[in-house]
Amino acid sequence: MGNLLEIKNLNVQFDIFGAHVQAVRGVSFELNVGETLAIVGESGSGKSVTSKAIMGLIPNPPGKITSGEIFFDGSDLVKYSQKQMQKIRGKDISMIFQDPMTALNPTMKIGKQIMEGLIKHQNLSKNEAKTKAAELLKLVGIPNPDKRLDEYPHQFSGGMRQRVVIAIALACNPKILIADEPTTALDVTIQAQILDLMRDIQKKTGTAIILITHDLGVVANLAQRVAVMYGGKIVETGTLEEIFYNPKHPYTWGLLSSMPKLHAKTDKLLAIPGTPPDLSDPPKGCPFAPRCPHAMKVCVDHMPDYTKLSATQKTACWLLDERAPKVDPPATIGVGGE
């Protein structure tokens, strides 16, 4: 097990309406070979921008990576030109998008869309690519692959389209698969099919997955490690068990207790009051301080450093400082497994 991808102190800024929106502010994490890392957060927390930065897909202008490094295979992707990135995208790192309705080209046959990457990156002939494309469709569970290669996206249902998107992403055996809300646009029964498929494929191919989502249920289903993002920063990271059963950051507490439990009776949801911060004028201290029930004076003025709680868990919160008062998490946290 080694680091496949290492991100160090990434900062991404968008210059929009005369303001500088700091979407990602000093994010660092690493991805190991073959694992699934989930990045969880609400809209505007910077999770999708982080993934786009890895892919080199930040539109410039208005966006730019202002500082930081993204190490993949020993080299820094931030310094790569678009041309160099094109050799990586779709080959070593590929992406599954949220909306399968817009991720596919409606005027191109499915087969051609899958073959595109195979011909470009693996120098296959048209016929070889076609055979491989049929195999891929079979891998993602689409019946009659040979016939369906000649169909257009509108002839597929939502779940089937997402399968095609996954087939395209897997075409060149990527080392990293970035899945940006892969099941958000799908119905629950179809979501269950796609999650099953993704787990199955990871077993078969050993691809590392970065799963970007706001749905903690999907995280519990698929991920091994979790990074919780808020206001452009990672506020807490740890293994799946650590985040769900022993979270230390009040935002993680809030996120976990604001969801109703299917298997238990909840009288009242613990809502997080207020709204997320405006990142064109990011708070000086902890971004969660204005909504945090345990906020202290220091939280408003200074961003806390990460406290290492175990080999895998890191949390950025002043409550973990030895001078801070002891605060217990809400009663609903940490009671796992029924």
Partner 1 sequence: MDESREKLLQVKNLKKYFKVSRKDTLKAVDDVTFDVYKGETFGLVGESGCGKSTTGRTIIRLYEPTEGEVLFDGEEIGGKLSTKAKKNLSRRMQMIFQDPYASLNPRMMVKDIIAEGLDIHHLVKSDKERMDRVYHLLETVGLNREHANRYPHEFSGGQRQRIGIARALAVDPDFIIADEPISALDVSIQAQVVNLLQELQEQQGLTFLFIAHDLSMVKHISDRVGVMYLGNMAELAPSDELYDHPLHPYTQALLSAIPVADPKVERTRERIILQGDVPSPVDPPSGCRFRTRCPFAMEICAKARPKWHEAGKGHWVSCHLHDDGLKK
- Binding interface with partner 1 (CB under 8 A): 42-43, 157-160, 187-193, 195-196, 214-221, 240-241, 244-245, 254-256, 258-263, 265-266, 268-273, 275-276, 336-338
Looking at residue 92, its amino acid is D
Helix/strand/coil (H/E/C) assignment for every residue in 9-48: EEEEEEEECCEEEEEEEEEEEEEECCCEEEEECCCCCCHH
| Contacts within 8 Å (CB) and 24+ apart, 318-321 | 318/286, 319/248, 319/250, 319/294, 320/248
* Beta carbon nearer to partner 1, 125 or 157: 157
Rounded least distance, CB 287 to partner 1, Å: 13
Rounded least distance, CB 323 to partner 1, Å: 28
Pick from 103, 222, 211, 95: nearest CA to 161: 103
* Beta carbon nearer to partner 1, 79 or 263: 263
SS3 229: strand
* Beta carbon nearer to partner 1, 80 or 245: 245
Rounded least distance, CB 187 to partner 1, Å: 4
- What is residue 176's DSSP assignment? E
Rounded least distance, CB 270 to partner 1, Å: 7
* Beta carbon nearer to partner 1, 93 or 186: 186
Pick from 248, 256, 247, 243: nearest CA to 321: 248
Pick from 236, 238, 251: nearest CA to 330: 251
* Beta carbon nearer to partner 1, 7 or 160: 160
Rounded least distance, CB 127 to partner 1, Å: 31
